[in-house]
Amino acid sequence: MKFRRFAAVFTLAATMAAPALAAEWTVGANIGNVPWEFQDAQGKFVGFEIDLVNEVAKRTGNTVKIENIPFNGLFPAVLSGRIQIAISSITITPKRLETLAFAQPYYDSDQSLSVLKASPINKLEDLSGKTVGVDTASTGDIWATENTGKYKIAKISRYEGLAPAMLDLAAGRIDGYISDIPAVEYYIKDKPQYRVAGRIPTGERYSFMFAKTFADAAKVNDALTALKKEGFIAKTHQKWFGSMPPAEGATVKVLDMPK
């Protein structure tokens, strides 16, 4: 009896003394979205947002498990609770804010029209009768759909990532590709067969996306504030894009969580 009582007390004391295990975040990412999240030569997940989400997790006492999910699948994955956070250069939009939540933005962007170097397309008006590629459910998809009539676009082909779209562009299966300009510029910097024919001003801002009920939302936002103030996000920008971001941009300036 005394032994059992002692064992119970010892077990309780050991439990109280043991450090609490860090909570794990399952983070969804559209792997292949360079330079935001992709695989290096060793198969490791790397990129601007991989660095950022890992550092935010570290600051908040969490661990991260990255799950490769096509861009269009990130939204239901967050809503269903399959993942806690989604990353993939996700633009904050009023429509998305109706059902989902975002941390403060950390990147400013626009869309772009990329074509082959020898293409006769030099501006948006040259898309008349042409086929354009977009990433499914992306802001490029939304823009192309809304402007099909204006620019007389003949057909929209949808892809699950930049790489297959650019391969189809090279093969002549599409005439142009509309997507986030930083990802395209990073991708084509060593591929002279491509060029950006035009920048499409959309005033987009990217951030982490999560459910409105996500318990760690405030912690994530506070961590981003600290990382901006310390210059971590600016240095990460320099690492992946080769330049320091504008001082008044979302990568440096502390901003409110969007509502």
26 shares its domain with 98: yes
In order, the DSSP letters of 42-88 are TS-EESHHHHHHHHHHHHHTEEEEEEE--HHHHHHHHHHTS-SEEES
26 shares its domain with 53: yes
pLDDT level of residue 222 (50, 70, 90 thresholds): very high
Residue 78 lies in a domain: yes
Give Cα 226 to chain centroid, integer Å.
Answer: 20
Expressed as residue numbers, the domain containing 31 is 19-106+207-241
Given a contact cutoff of 8 angstroms between Cβ atoms, the answer to whether 121 and 175 are in contact is yes
Number of domains in the chain: 2
For residue 227, CA distances in Å to 52, 58, 63, 222, 256 come to 9, 12, 17, 9, 14
Q: For 87-141, what is each residue's pLDDT tens digit?
A: 999 999 999 999 999 999 999 999 999 999 999 999 999 999 999 999 999 999 9
Residue 253 lies in a domain: no
**pLDDT, mean over the chain:** 92
Given a contact cutoff of 8 angstroms between Cβ atoms, the answer to whether 60 and 192 are in contact is no
DSSP state of 33: B
192 shares its domain with 223: no
pTM above 0.75, yes or no: yes
